[in-house]
Each structure stands twice: as C-alpha cells, then as structure tokens.
Structure 1
Amino acid sequence: MLYLIADYIFFCCSTSRRGYFDSEMIHSRGLNINLNRYFALAPRFLPGTHSVQVKINNRDKGTVAARFGEDGTLCIDNDFIEFAGLMPVPLKKDEECHDIVNDYAQAVVKALPGQEAVELFLPAEALNDLNGDIKSFQRGGIAGSLNYNLFSTRSEYDGSDASLYSQASLEGGLNAASWSLRSRYILTDDNGIKNAESIYTYAEHVFDIMKMTMQLGEINARSYVLSGAPILGVQLTPTRALQSRGSGISISGIARNAQARVEVRQSGLLIYNTLVPAGPFTIEDMPEVRSNVDLEVTVVESDGSTSRFIVPAASVRRSSFSRPRECLFQLVR
C-alpha cells in the first residue's frame, strides 16, 4: 500500500499542472478517496511524522524526524529549530502546526516526498550562526587524569662535594557533572631543601550555548592588560573551540526570484556558491582566497537571468581586520 502511495506522489512531482487520479482505482485499492485531492496540487507528505533529509539554502543538515500537518505543511518546533540551526520563532502552546513561512515571508519550503527530503530556502536573519554543531555534543560521564614529569640530576665536583636535585611536575584532573577540576604542582628537592609550589588549581565550566568558559580559583589571567598573570578569582572568556573561524567578510545583494543562486569568484575562480530566497540577502564570513583581489558576485535567478556586482578588495581587507574583539569578564581578589 505504501508503494502505491509513493507512485501517486511521483506522479504529482512529474507535472506542473493540476493532476487527478482515477477515483475508482483508488477506491478499489482500499485507499482513502481524498488522496485524489490531497496530491493534486503539489507533492507533499502525508500528515504525521516522517524521517526526512533536510537541506537549508542547499546545505545538508542531516536527517531528522519531522512532523507534517493535515495539509502537508512542515511543522516547526523547538527540536527542529535546534537541529536545523535556526533562530527561535514565537511558538504558541495551542498551535497545532507552526509554518515558518508565517515568520519569514521570503521563506520557501519544498517538500520532496519521493526523495524523503525537505528543502528550505531562508533569509540570512533566519539562520542562527551561534547554534553551530552544539546539538551533536555528548554530555555526562566521569573521568580523571594524572600527568607527571619526573627528573633528577646529580653533579659531582672535585673532591667529595656533590649536588643532588630532583623535581616532580604533577597535573591532576577530574571531570564530572559538566564541570572539570584542574590542578598543577611543582615539587622540588634541592640537596634536602624541599619545596612545593602550586601553579594553578581551578574549576571550569563551559556554557556551550553562550560559547563561553568560566574558570574560578587560582588561574592565569587572559586579558589584554594582565595576560598570563596568576590571579585568584573568576574569569569568563570565549571558548575558542566553539568560536566561528569565519573571515569576517560579508556581501549583500538582492535576489528577484526564489531559489536564486549566488556565485562568488576571485580572478575568475569560483570560491563560494549558495542558494537564497527572493529579496535582500547577506552572506556572512565569506571564504577568502586573496585579500588583494576584488570579489565578483553573480546572482543567477531561477528564470535564467543574471546580475553582477563587484566587492572591491579594499572593502574585503577592511572587513577581515574589523572583526569584533572577544569579550572578557574578570573578578579578582
């Protein structure tokens, strides 16, 4: 029965005109006669939850269990927003199916039931660059570590004089409940004179949504003024592993038709391309091949027409040098 339904869907996909099916054949196969009207206008998924491959502006996002409404509309919920890396939208508790087109007039949702896929074409303001790949992180677990470095030297001089020096560098760590504890000590023995020195002892927690790391205890300062200085206190710094490594270069333009293709070239070499919805668009963090060469931008509309404009190399250099500075908070005793 599922095979027959798939056949009907493919039929709809292969024609741009309104199609109808043989009602008597549908009835004889034990299928709902309303399928005739349901698939007549456009290819769509049956109501319910389906495992689909998601693309946003021609970028693969992976496979997710997506829910579709009674009319085949893709239902947006918080889980889908987090999975797809979208900006939060106002969701009402009594709303049965939220359509993202209501939030972004330029948005286009293209259902491809024959391929078990959904393509979304969204404006730049709908994309949440801060979300990154946080959804795929694994949390929890308990782990410990102990690193050590030992050495000892003995020096002998003329006569019976000798000098003995030993050193142990110890670094211990414990991870639990999304917190980590780190401590490092240096132990020395210089001809019987023993000494223990604490390099640092601190607890650390990563706020992955904010992409910030909090450290408290004996820490080394990370600031433009006291970089590397030992302090006792709290500091909040960007988590470099979660920060975007984009170039800081952005281009803006206008697409007349939905699903327009934007191509960016330097010296005739294609360095980037993507799909954008109709209306104004902005592409952030463009890849940069050479900072002294103009960017040639071509907008290829879905009707085959094209428009071109140039982003001067001087603007490219200014953008790459004007990335915002990292924020930093310290509370020191």
Structure 2
Amino acid sequence: MLKSKTICFNLYIFLGTCFSGVVYADSFFNPNLISNIDNEVADLSRFDKGEGQPEGMYSVEIYVNDEYVETKNLIFYESDASSDDTGLLPCIDNKTLTNFGITLTENSKNKSEEVESKDSACENILDKIENSSVKFDFEGQKLFLSIPQIMFKNNVRGFIPPEKWDNGINAFLLNYNFTGRNSKNFKDNVDNNNYFLNLNPGINLGSWRFRNESSWNYASGESKQNKWRNIRTYVQKPIIPLRAELTLGDSFSNGTIFDSLGFRGIKLESDDNMLPDSMRGFAPTIKGIANSNAIVTVKQNGFVIYQISVPPGAFEIKDLYATSSSGNLDVTIKENNGKITQFVVPYSNVPILQREGRLKYELIGGEFRSGADYQDKPNFGQLSLVYGLPYNMTLYGGSQFSNNYQAYAIGLGGNLGTFGAISADVIQANSILPNDEHKKGQSFRLLYAKSINSTGTNFQIMGYRYSTQGYYTLNEVSYKKMAGREIVTDNGIIRDEG
C-alpha cells in the first residue's frame, strides 16, 4: 500500500509541471507617487511599454525627401496612422506645404478645409498627400517627409521659393587700391612723385545696390598731372517676378548676340543667379517610362552625375547640372523587380544653347559710351532674345538700332545627338559712315562642338565671324568725322576726306 501512494505522489508532481499556466511579470509605476491630488493622477499607461510620446509642440528640423528645408515649431497629435514608435503625426497646413514647393490637388485642399473648419487639432497629412510617409525622429527632433516627385511644382534640385530670399543687410562698402612712388633726380634737383588711387564704394539699401568706380592720378615733375576720373556709376535692383535685374547708369551689354558695348542708360536683363544651380546653363532633358517604382541613374564618362527614385509611369529629368565638358549620358532604369533598362542620350554643348522653356533676354536703352574722345555718343537701343525649344534646340535673335545704324540678327542652335552640337547665326547691318556713305553688309557666325567618347576627344571648330565688306558694328560707325584721317577697323577702312 505504501508503494502505491508513492507512485501517485510522483504523478501529481509530473502533471503539475506539464500543465502549469503561463505567467507574465511586468513592472508597474504607481502614478500616485507623482500626484498629491485625489483622483487627479497622471495617465502613464501610454508609456507602460516604452512606446509613444506625448502630444504637443516640438521644434523640429524638417527634411523633405532627405533634404533639409527648415527648422519650425510644429504641433504633433496622437494618431494610429503613425508609422514610427512615437505614435505622433505633425500638423502641417497648406501654406507650409506650398512653401516646400508641393502642389496640392483640389481634392487635398477640400479635405484640408473640411478638417480645419472642425474643432479637431488638424488633418492627417497622409490623407492629404497620397503615397506620402512621415517619420518623426524624437531623439534627434527631426521630421522626415517622403513626398512623391510628381507633387512638386518646382521639381528641380536646389530650388528655393522666392518668399525665402533675403536682400541682406543695409551696408556701406569700400574697396580701394593705392600705389605710389617717390624718386629724386639729384643732378637736376627734381622730385618725381607718382600716386594712383582706385576707389570702389558701394551702398546696399534694401533691394537696391549702388556702385561706383573712380580713380585718381597724380604725378609731379616733367609728366605733371592731377586728375580725378569717374569711371562708372550705377544702381541695380532685382526684379524677382521676372527673374531679372534692372540696371540704371553705366554698364555693358552682355555680348551674347551683338558685340559687347559700354553705355549709360537703362538695362533689363534676365539673371541666371536667380535660378537654382541645376537650372543654369544647358543640359538635355531626359524622358523615359518606369514600369514600377524605379531608380534612374545617369552617368557621364563613367561617373554618376544624377540619381533619383521615380514612381511608375512617365518621368522627366530636367535638372541636370550643366557640365563644361561634352560626353554621352548613359541612363539606367532599375525596376523594383531587378529588371534593368538602358539607353544613351548624346550630349554636346555650344555657348548659346538653353534648356527647354528657358528665355534669356536683354533690353537696353541709352547712350553709347566707349570712353574714347574720338567717338560720338549716339543714343541707341538693343534687344536680345534666346529661347530654349523642345528637342534640345535653341532659337535666338535681336535688334540694334540708332540714328545711323540698324542691325538685325537671327540664329539657331541645337544638340544634334551623335552629330555633336552646332549654332549658326547671321546679322544684317545697315550703316551710315562718318562720311555719310551708306553701307549694307552681313556677318555670319558658326560654332560646332563634338565629343568622341571612345578616344576621349573633345573638339570645337569656330568660324567665329565672317563678315562681308559692307558690314560694320555700332562701335565702328560711332567714330567722329575727322578730316584727312583714316580710321582703321577690323572690317575695313573708314575714310573722311573732309
């Protein structure tokens, strides 16, 4: 009988071990320890598992598609749609998103207005922008927004909205250069002193810029002189809506189509400095189609110069940085399933080429000033236009006119793919010479560039200017009438027998 009891006792122990219940242990913090008011204690259940952060306002660094935008105070609210361990989403209004360069659809705007009209904290940004994502790095106080490329109204690298541009502080500037020399001729007991001073004062006041360049020459002895000379004075102001700069006073034309000239008057000229670096100069537009979320890589001469993630569908790359060298662009599209598509975009460049849709212009009205006493100062006007067409072509032309001179120019340039790049233009000029002789002539210009990757060769052929005998520039016809003297120019002899 004793033996039977022992067996039963061991069986009970075995069964208890096999069928024991699962018990979990967890730490607990009594919220009454941080409150001395009955029935008003902090709700710490949110932090029991070490997840989540409290709602409220945080000063965060905002990154849009991994690019820093600004540091801003944002209100964060608790949301089940949060994809990170904070459990929070930010309140970002439409104006802020627009300042980021994001274009909201009408549907998104309507959703925003409906939510903002309610008493709730704010709308869900994930509902406002499809295929977007938000990640809040609480420890680093950084907010990362992932926005589809198609949502950006200015989808170019380095774009900064004009609302964020700064004129800088008001200031007085002064650059100067002073040189001097003293010598003495003991034989004749003569002192020779020579001094030269160059001054470049300037004033920045709001968006206006005043600049001056002056010089002073002093010499004693045989070459005695004491002369102050005002070289040029001008004021400038940016015209932001036109992406242009207004100049009043002494300046020079840019020489893109006609020869560069000095003048005193007014000039309105497009300013590339108001464009992002990725939109300056010429670079071809790359177009393609992605069948899925894909990575597009662009290489030139074996180096990666551009890479971007694109959603399914057609894509367009128009913000390649302009390069000084030519060379084919090798484009690779890598789909999310590993499939790779490759094609080549030939690339050569000549100075006149512009990106598709880019308009460069220069409008001048004023008095011609060469700084030479033997030339007149006729009033003149000038207009130059350069426009980037589709298919990497550029059309340009202009006009230059005064009382005794009229000139008209037209030209066309283009990236011809494997055949290189070329530009050609012609100027028709009607001139009245100092002896009242009427002349007509043409000037032709040709520029060609081609890169051969296989040999590493890059060459340019420049027939910069071929002019007929009757062609003269505005600078050449501005010489004064001087009896019995020949005026020799680059394109012939202007003679006045008086």
- Matches of 1:62 and 1:214, distance apart in 2: 31
Matches within 5 A, 1:17-96: 29=43, 54-65=62-73, 75-82=92-99, 84-86=100-102, 96=116
- Matches of 1:232 and 1:108, distance apart in 2: 56
- Matches of 2:351 and 2:183, distance apart in 1: 55
1:272 has 2:306 as partner? yes
- Matches of 2:124 and 2:283, distance apart in 1: 32
Contact 1:234 1:331 survives alignment (8 Å)? yes
Matches within 5 A, 1:236-251: 236-246=268-278, 248-251=283-286
1:323 has 2:348 as partner? no
**Aligned residue for 1:256?**
291
Change (3 A) 1:328 1:89: farther
Question: Aligned-pair distance for 1:253?
Answer: 1.7
Q: What code does the residue aligned with 1:254 have? A: I
- Matches of 2:265 and 2:132, distance apart in 1: 50
- Matches of 1:163 and 1:103, distance apart in 2: 80
**2:218 equivalent among 189, 197, 201:** 189
- Matches of 2:93 and 2:334, distance apart in 1: 29
Matches within 5 A, 1:1-333: 29=43, 54-65=62-73, 75-82=92-99, 84-86=100-102, 96=116, 108-113=131-136, 116-123=143-150, 126-129=153-156, 131-132=159-160, 137-154=165-182, 159-160=188-189, 163-191=192-220, 193-208=225-240, 210-224=242-256, 225-227=258-260, 229=262, 231-246=263-278, 248-257=283-292, 259-266=293-300, 270-286=304-320, 291-301=326-336, 304-312=337-345, 314=346, 316-317=347-348, 322-324=353-355, 326-333=360-367
Question: Aligned-pair distance for 1:88?
Answer: 8.2
Q: What percent identity do the matched residue pairs reach?
A: 18
- Matches of 1:321 and 1:102, distance apart in 2: 46
Residues 74-102 of structure 1: per-residue CA shift (max 9 Å, x gap): 755233322x2346877689663899999
Secondary structure of the 2:319 match is: coil
Q: Which runs of 5+ in 1 are unaligned?
A: 1-27, 33-44
Question: Aligned-pair distance for 1:238?
Answer: 3.8
Contact 1:56 1:121 survives alignment (8 Å)? no
Equivalenced residue count is 286
Q: What code does the residue aligned with 1:286 have? A: L
- Matches of 2:313 and 2:219, distance apart in 1: 74
Contact 2:213 2:230 survives alignment (8 Å)? yes
Contact 2:102 2:151 survives alignment (8 Å)? no
Residues 117-158 of structure 1: per-residue CA shift (max 9 Å, x gap): 321112286335484375665445321122222233456666
Which structure's relative contact order is higher, taking Cα pairs within 8 Å and 6+ residues apart?
1
Secondary structure of the 1:227 match is: coil
TM-score, normalised to structure 2, is 0.46
- Matches of 1:110 and 1:171, distance apart in 2: 53
Secondary structure of the 2:188 match is: coil
Aligned residues: CA RMSD: 4.4
**Aligned residue for 2:389?**
none
Secondary structure of the 2:360 match is: coil
- Matches of 1:120 and 1:319, distance apart in 2: 36
Change (3 A) 1:161 1:134: same
**Aligned residue for 2:495?**
none
Change (3 A) 1:123 1:237: same
Contact 1:223 1:328 survives alignment (8 Å)? no
- Matches of 1:114 and 1:60, distance apart in 2: 14
Larger Rg: 1 or 2?
A: 2
Change (3 A) 1:179 1:172: same
Change (3 A) 1:266 1:239: closer
Contact 1:295 1:310 survives alignment (8 Å)? yes
Q: Which runs of 5+ in 2 are unaligned?
A: 1-41, 47-52, 82-88, 117-121, 368-498
- Matches of 1:142 and 1:279, distance apart in 2: 49
Of the structure 1 ranges 198-207 and 54-63, higher mean CA displacement relative to structure 2 is found in 54-63
Contact 1:188 1:196 survives alignment (8 Å)? yes
TM-score, normalised to structure 1, is 0.65
Change (3 A) 1:89 1:267: same
Contact 2:234 2:248 survives alignment (8 Å)? yes
- Matches of 1:195 and 1:85, distance apart in 2: 55
